[in-house]
């Protein structure tokens, strides 16, 4: 399975897939995409990397412990809901504001974006956690 061609291909594919995943994440609110799909895409990209090399290399390249990513993701989700609680609204209700960015016009930002980020992180963490552990057992 550790083929030279796969490795070379993955080296090129990984950054592109990750970029695509971020693109999916960002456009998710208005076009098909979103945190869940983006997370799956990123996880698939890293799984490919883990298959082409091995889980030790993949872990080293990924840098973050997947379990930590799961926990952070869940905390981000919880926190995004708490922001509205502390502003005196009910838990998880969205709060929005506009950020003027030169060249792009006004960009809407809100707590649901944060929420989606949490989903993104959790999905990556869960999938990679499972993939890495499964691969390690086999070694």
135 makes contact with other proteins (CB under 8 A): yes
| Smaller CB separation from other proteins, 11 or 67 | 67
Helix, coil or strand: residue 92: coil
Cα gap 136→54, rounded to integer Å = 9
Q: How many residues contact other proteins, by CB under 8 A?
A: 51
Give residues 12-31 in contact with other proteins (rule: CB under 8 A). Answer: 28-31
Tokens describing residue 23: 């693109």
Closest CA to 21 of 48, 2, 39: 39
Q: Does the protein bind other proteins through residue 66 (CB under 8 A)?
A: yes
Within 13 Å of residue 11, how many CA atoms lie on the same side as its CB? 5
Interacting residues of 62 by C-beta distance below 8 A, sequence separation 6+: 46, 128
The yes or no reply on residue 46 touching other proteins (CB under 8 A) is: no
If one asks whether residue 10 binds other proteins (CB under 8 A), the answer comes out as no
CB of 11 to other proteins, least distance (A): 18
Query: Tokens for 32?
Result: 């098909």
- Residue ranges binding other proteins (CB under 8 A): 28-37, 40-41, 43-44, 47-48, 51, 66-67, 70-71, 73-74, 77-78, 81, 91-92, 94, 96, 108, 110, 112, 115-116, 118-119, 122-123, 125-127, 129-131, 133-138
């Amino acid at each position: 399975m550790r083929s030279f061609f796969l490795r070379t291909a993955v080296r090129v594919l990984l950054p592109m897939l990750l970029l695509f995943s971020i693109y999916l994440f960002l456009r998710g609110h208005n076009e098909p995409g979103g945190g869940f799909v983006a997370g799956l895409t990123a996880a698939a990209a890293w799984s490919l990397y883990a298959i082409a090399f091995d889980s030790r290399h993949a872990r080293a390249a990924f840098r973050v412990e997947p379990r930590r990513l799961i926990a952070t993701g869940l905390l981000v989700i919880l926190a995004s809901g708490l922001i509205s609680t502390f502003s005196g609204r009910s838990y998880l209700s969205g709060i929005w504001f506009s950020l003027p960015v030169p060249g792009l016009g006004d960009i809407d930002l809100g707590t649901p974006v944060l929420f989606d980020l949490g989903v993104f992180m959790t999905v990556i963490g869960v999938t990679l956690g499972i993939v890495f552990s499964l691969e390690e057992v086999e070694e």
